[in-house]
């Protein structure tokens, strides 16, 4: 795996996007480290805004019951959490699956804007974050997981997921990500 210094060749402000994955009311209330997670998420969102890194929020948007898969529970976890609510210029993607790429135009948005590095934050680490990060890598993007700004209701699954992802692509602290953005326009 590349060191944070070596990653500066690939991660720059002008080729990065910050994804805030499913930070919705019901999910935030269930994570094991709510206060720490929210503080770190706000820190990274603030840094993205400061450095002009675009922010994309995802929102679980269930199909009508008749069109939902019988193999998946259909539920609506509410609105995006008020403390990190999107601002004008942010993108909100309504989605129905555990991959940001399935059933959305996210890949097209990235390719149109020349963005190749996707910094993932949000809930749940072992479900949508990991699925989307792996899918991003398979499509030729560089996924970066902000390990302090992802969380889950299941601490053990969260930690296993971080360890698994660290074998495949960068899993960095906020300080490491922010330092890279600071030094690399």
CA distance 135 to 95: 15
CA distance 148 to 144: 12
β-pairing verdict for 117-123 and 91-95:
unpaired
| Mean pLDDT, rounded, for 55-79 | 82
3-state SS, residue 131: helix
If pLDDT is split at 50, 70 and 90, which confidence band does 67 have? confident
Beta sheet of 55-60, edge-to-edge order: 91-95, 55-60, 16-21, 117-123, 142-151, 171-172
pTM of the shown model = 0.95
pLDDT score, position 155: 98
Q: Is the pLDDT of residue 2 over 80?
A: no
Number of domains composing the chain = 1
| Mean pLDDT, rounded, for 40-48 | 98
Q: Where are the beta strands (DSSP E) in the chain?
A: 16-21, 55-60, 91-95, 117-123, 142-151, 171-172
pLDDT score, position 50: 97
The enclosing domain of 110 has a CATH number of 3.40.50.850
If pLDDT is split at 50, 70 and 90, which confidence band does 44 have? very high
pLDDT score, position 28: 97
**Domain residue limits at 158:** 4-183
CA dist list (Å): 3 to 26, 166, 176: 36, 12, 10
Q: Is the pLDDT of residue 13 over 80?
A: yes
Place of tokens 């990190």: 84
pLDDT score, position 64: 78
Q: Is the pLDDT of residue 76 over 90?
A: no
pLDDT score, position 4: 64
pLDDT score, position 72: 66
CA dist list (Å): 55 to 45, 49, 65, 109, 146: 8, 8, 30, 12, 14
CA distance 10 to 60: 30
| Mean pLDDT, rounded, for 70-91 | 88
Q: Is the peptide bond before 178 cis (omega within 30 degrees of 0)?
A: no
* pLDDT per position as a tens digit, 98-145: 999 999 999 999 999 999 999 999 999 999 999 999 999 999 999 999
**Contact residues for 183 (Cβ-Cβ < 8 A; gap 6+):** 8
CB 4 within 8 A of CB 172: yes
Q: Is the pLDDT of residue 90 over 80?
A: yes
Q: Is the pLDDT of residue 159 over 90?
A: yes
């Amino acid at each position: 795996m590349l060191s944070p210094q070596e990653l500066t060749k690939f991660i720059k402000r002008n080729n990065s996007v910050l994804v805030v994955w499913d930070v919705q009311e019901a999910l935030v209330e269930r994570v094991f480290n709510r206060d720490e997670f929210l503080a770190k998420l706000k820190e990274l969102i603030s840094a993205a805004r400061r450095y002009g890194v675009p922010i994309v929020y995802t929102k679980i948007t269930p199909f009508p019951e008749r069109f939902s898969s019988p193999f998946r529970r259909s539920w609506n976890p509410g609105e995006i959490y008020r403390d990190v609510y999107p601002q004008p210029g942010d993108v909100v993607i309504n989605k129905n699956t555990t991959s940001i790429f399935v059933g959305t135009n996210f890949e097209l948005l990235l390719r149109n804007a020349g963005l190749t590095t996707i910094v993932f934050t949000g809930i749940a680490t072992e479900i949508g974050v990991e699925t989307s990060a792996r899918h991003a890598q398979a499509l030729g993007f560089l996924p970066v997981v902000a390990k302090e700004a992802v969380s889950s209701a299941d601490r053990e699954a969260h930690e296993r997921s971080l360890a698994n992802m660290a074998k495949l692509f960068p899993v960095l602290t906020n300080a490491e990500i922010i330092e890279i953005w600071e030094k690399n326009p």
